[in-house]
Amino acid sequence: MELLTTNNVWMMICTALVFFMHLGFSLLEIGLTRQKNTINVLFKNIFIITIGLLLYFIVGFNLMYPGEFNGVLAMPHFGIGLGDMQNAFTNADGSFYADGGYTYWTDFLFQGMFAATAATIVSGAVAERVKIVPFMIFTIFYVGLVYPIAGSWKWGGGFLQSMETPFYDFAGSTLVHSVGGWAALVAVWLLGPRIGKFKDGKAQAIPGHNLPLATSGVLILWLGWFGFNGGSVLSADPSLTSLTLVTTCLAAAAGGVVCMLVSTVMYKNLDLTMFLNGILGGLVGITAGADQMSPMDAILIGSIAGALIVFAVACIDKIKLDDPVGAIAVHLICGVWGTLAVGIFGNLAGVSQFFSQLMGVGAYAIFCLITSFVILFVLKKTVGIRVSEKEELEGLDIHEHGMDAYPDFRLNEH
């Protein structure tokens, strides 16, 4: 029981850290977007975490961890167990829940914090021109159904877990980050770019209004990743937890430094936003195999992720997709890279594992592209997903929410 208590306390601390990441996402997104859309960004992020937890209680948790099922789609049942407290510690056969790692309640809350992250990734990518109500409807379907179904394929014991060489994703480079990234890609394509983003075929910079807030957001996210990856050990095992936190930090540092260096060479400019996204790219990249990598492996994975950020951002601009916060480059591109890296580096490296990773990436790509497209396309053809030109130019805060984030310091932004 003493070990159970120690493990459970660690898991609850990690749950709090992952919850804290939502503040990081919020600050990053408002910092990298314009002042006139601050409330809109914050409203979306608050909606995501609140409705996400409720949806995960109603159907998501049981859909993601259904027990015995066909490996692809489970029959959902509603709510989570509300029996006596002893059931939180033990299974029906008397054995410890989760092998004594933590309680049923902790399991629900920790996983619930992950669930909302996928839609938060989309929120940043569609910032400054998406209608708030259609985005809320999208969030309900994507967090309530798409994410838990996708998660069940691996973490719920589905077909990707039961392959001869199981697909491996320790903490969610694919299951969380790419699931959000694929939807972000579809949403950005269907929405179109912000007014003024492209002129004569060339991308124009639309600076965010508060880089100190964006920097604070990234540092909070880095701190939160201690819970995101550290909690995914699913116990307080000292050696594995320590290794996971070391690889996480080294990948983040390497991602930031390499992204800064590559962007400086390419653009002759010490760009803080590239530096920040390089850190995030390193974190996303290491997440799939943080428990399997040596420190040097982590540095290599983070370094490649940091370089990928620079080229991905340039490519996204070239094909005229507008992602204000770099969510596609960070969460999709680096999520895919980190997932494939499991088959190249670390304890699981090998041809068989690499092809299992490739199969997992492909399965999630197909599923998320189709589901997000169907949801967003239906919304686009029915209620519309983009605000009017007037609303976009004057700001979503005034038109969607009837208020101003900085009423005494309003700038004339276009």
Q: What is the C-alpha to C-alpha distance for residues 84 and 258, in angstroms, rounded to an integer?
A: 52
pLDDT at 84: 47
Residue at 267: amino acid letter: Y
Q: Residue 352 contacts by C-beta under 8 Å, 6 or more apart in sequence?
A: 164, 165
Q: Where are the domains of the chain?
A: 2-401
pLDDT at 411: 55
The helix/strand/coil state of 90 is: strand
pLDDT at 95: 66
Tens of pLDDT, residue by residue over 198-233, are 998 899 999 999 999 999 999 999 999 999 999 999
What is the pTM assigned to this prediction?
0.94
If you write DSSP's letter for every residue of 289-332 in order, what string do you get? TTTT--HHHHHHHHHHHHHHHHHHHHHHHHTT---TT-HIIIII
Q: Which regions of the chain are under pLDDT 50?
A: 83-84
- Tell me the C-alpha to C-alpha distance, in Å, between residue 322 and each of 130, 138, 189, 209: 12, 19, 8, 17
Report the CATH number of the 2-401 domain. Answer: 1.10.3430.10
Q: For residues 71 and 153, is the Cβ–Cβ distance under 8 A?
A: yes
Q: What is the C-alpha to C-alpha distance for residues 153 and 159, in angstroms, rounded to an integer?
A: 6
Q: What is the C-alpha to C-alpha distance for residues 40 and 202, in angstroms, rounded to an integer?
A: 27
Q: For residues 187 and 135, is the Cβ–Cβ distance under 8 A?
A: no
Tens of pLDDT, residue by residue over 267-316, are 999 999 999 999 999 999 999 999 999 999 999 999 999 999 999 999 99
pLDDT at 404: 92
The DSSP bridge partners found for residue 267 are none
